[in-house]
Structure 1
Amino acid sequence: MKIHHLNCGTDCPIGGALFDGRSLGPLGRIVCHCLLIETRAHGLVLVDTGYGLRDVAHPHEHPQPRITLPWRMMLNIRLHERDTAIRQVEALGYRASDVRHIIATHLDFDHAGGLEDFPQAKVHVMQREYDDATGPREGIVARNRWRTRQLNDVAQWRRYGASGEPWFGFDAVRDLDGLPPDILLVPLPGHTWGHAGVAVRRKDGWLLHAGDAYFYRGEMRGARRRCTPGLRAYQRLMEVDVTSRLDNQARLRRLSVERRDEITVTCTHDPVELERCQSGCPL
């Protein structure tokens, strides 16, 4: 399988290095790292979609905006059609219909905005995430993070329970409908209750896209957690359970250290991790 590392959306929050750990100016840079996987027998597989065409064209339609004003202002979201997953798929010479599967780490607005751009794809997600995203939403974070306008036109949901076979000490959901056993869901609750990572077996070992289980490169591959103040605060704002989030993050950190030769762990929003994955450099 060949894996392309795409940036399907950019946020530029005020605070610079207080968010991304490296910007010299007042604005930071936070990416939406998605995977495009080429398989021989199963077509193209996307892991998350970032922002989509309708987000770019109509981000604040009333009465139910696709992305709400408080989150657009807080994150200083930059919406460009060229960054959408569909346009990047087309730039590689493919069509939307070639994407037969989308695996969602979760359904937050910055991960699920492009689902509708691939109407023929099966969308794989944890059952709890689907229930929380499409059901009644209480609280300001829940009402802002899950946007029904991004989900209404998705026709082919595939939903999974949390139990499964072990994968390096984590539960895993194998045998995703229509997908090879080399791609599996790894439940990682805390950011949302239905949040999951996506593990992909490559020739040289496993790649684990951990979604929003962590946000900053310093939270992995070291004995101690390091995170910028801005991203530390944003993770606290968006979490549903601090204990589950930090426990799973600590387990991932141990995995990234103890199994470094076997497993590459990356997340959604760190630009340095994305750049290293795109260049083939080790994380």
Structure 2
Amino acid sequence: MRIHHLNCGSMREVAPPSDPDGALRPLPAVCHCLLVETDSAGLVLVETGYGTLDVRDPQRRLGPDFLAWAQPVLDPEETAVRQVQRLGYAPDDVRHVVVTHLHRDHTGGLADFPHARVHLHEAEHHAATVVGHDRYLSAHWAHDPHWLTYSGADGERWLGFDGVQQLAGLPPEILLVPLAGHTPGHVAVAVRRPTGGGSAWLVHAGDAYFYRGEVQAGLPPTPPAFDALQASVETDRPLRLRNVDRLRALLAEQPDQIDVVSAHDPWEFARHRQEAPASSV
């Protein structure tokens, strides 16, 4: 099991949190995706960021208000499909996509992998495709993806989280972890990865938090821009904060067995790329 950390969409620059040591500098927010090489199920893409169709037609695909606020760079070389190709793979080698939720900065690349199975929580699928909201953009799934949805009622308890499930057609080292609050069906994706002394879990927490200091003690407070953004989009703040508390506890309790990443923290992404210069963990 090999994991590549990909930035599939740079966005507006974010000022760092208060940093007395001066170690942090302003950086563009990222769309932190994972590309997982499996032995039996091909490539698994966790999140998709922006896609090639977003680059070609951003006004229709993303909307003028979102473009003005997020200021995505929309570099075709940052799309997941281009990065997959640069690693020596074909787009069809990505047989599975797992999305934490269906906001437009997480789903733009779905159309670049039309043959992939798309795994997500059924509550998120319902919220986006049945209930609808202006934060969801149906153009991103107009190609009629092969959805595979999961109900938390069918899962098991895992490290303090309920409703956790293995994914159809994927090895047991990849789990779907309900982590609602940012959206109704938001999830995390846990990947068990090899380490020098065995294995450990890497948990992609999507937008459950925006800045590493929310889950790791001893870091500066969250940048105000991230706080304001989360407050404007979250659907259940108490539930989201309870889930963030559990992530924080896991990192404190099992620092050698658990690592957590989020979707947009550029300093967190930079740390993982520095630790894995060949784009792998």
Task: Please give the TM-score of this superposition, normalised by the length of structure 1.
Answer: 0.90
| Paired residues of 1:190 and 1:213 also in contact (CA < 8 A) | yes
Cα distance change of structure 1 residues 225 and 212 upon mapping to structure 2, 3 Å threshold: farther
Which position in structure 2 is the counterpart of 1:49?
Answer: 48
Q: What is the correspondence of 1:205-216 to structure 2 with a 5 Å cutoff?
A: 205-216=200-211
Deviation at 1:136, TM superposition (A): 3.3
Corresponding residue for residue 34 of structure 2: 35
Q: Is the 8 A contact 1:172 1:184 kept in 2?
A: no
Shift of 1:276: 1.5
Which runs of structure 2 are paired with 1:74-223 in the superposition (5 Å)?
74-137=69-132, 142-143=133-134, 145-163=135-153, 164-203=155-194, 204-222=199-217
Deviation of the 1:51 alpha carbon: 0.2
Counterparts of 1:216 and 1:154, CA distance in 2: 33
Decide whether aligned partners of structure 1 residues 19 and 39 sit closer, same or farther in structure 2, where only a CA change above 3 A counts: farther
CA distance in 2, matches of 1:275, 1:241: 29
The structure, 1 or 2, with the larger RCO (C-alpha pairs under 8 Å, 6+ apart) is 2
Aligned to 1:260: 255
Aligned partner of 2:237 in structure 1 is: 242
Aligned partner letter, 2:161: F
Q: 1:9 to 1:224 in 2, by over 3 A?
A: closer
> What do you get for the CA RMSD once the two structures are aligned?
1.9
Deviates further, 36-45 or 66-75? 66-75
Q: Structure 1 stretch 199-208 or stretch 84-93: which is displaced more?
A: 199-208
Query: Is this contact kept in 1: 2:10–2:29, CA < 8 A?
Result: yes
Runs (4+) of structure 1 exceeding 3 A deviation are: 15-24
Q: Deviations over 1:177-218 (max 9, x none)?
A: 100111011011100010000000112310000000000011
Q: What letter corresponds to residue 8 of structure 1 in structure 2? A: C
CA distance change for structure 1 residues 85 and 258 in 2, over 3 Å: closer, same or farther?
same
Q: Any idea what SS the aligned residue of 2:259 has?
A: strand
SS class of match (1:180): coil
State the alpha-carbon separation in 2 of the partners of residues 18 and 221 from structure 1: 14
Q: Distance in 1 between matches of 2:67 and 2:236?
A: 24
Separation in structure 1 between the aligned mates of residue 204 and residue 255 of structure 2, nearest angstrom: 14
Counterpart residue identity of residue 154, structure 1: D
Cα pair distance change 1:275/1:223, threshold 3 Å: closer
Paired with 2:209 and 2:63, the residues of 1 have a C-alpha distance of 23
- Which segments of 5 or more consecutive residues in structure 1 lack a partner in the other structure? none
Is structure 2 residue 3 aligned with structure 1 residue 3? yes
Q: How far 1:108 sits from its partner (Å)? A: 0.6
1:102 corresponds to which letter in structure 2?
V
Alpha-carbon shift at residue 42 of structure 1 (Å): 0.5
Question: Whole-Å Cα distance in 2 between the matches of residues 133 and 16 of structure 1?
Answer: 31
CA distance in 2, matches of 1:216, 1:175: 27
The answer to whether the Cα contact below 8 Å between 1:19 and 1:230 also exists between their aligned partners in 2 is no
Aligned residue for 2:256, secondary structure, equals coil
Distance in 2 between the 1:11 and 1:18 partners?
A: 17
What is the TM-score when the length of structure 2 is the normalising length?
A: 0.90
Measure the CA separation in 2 of the matches of 1:83 and 1:223: 32
Q: Is the 8 A contact 1:12 1:29 kept in 2?
A: yes
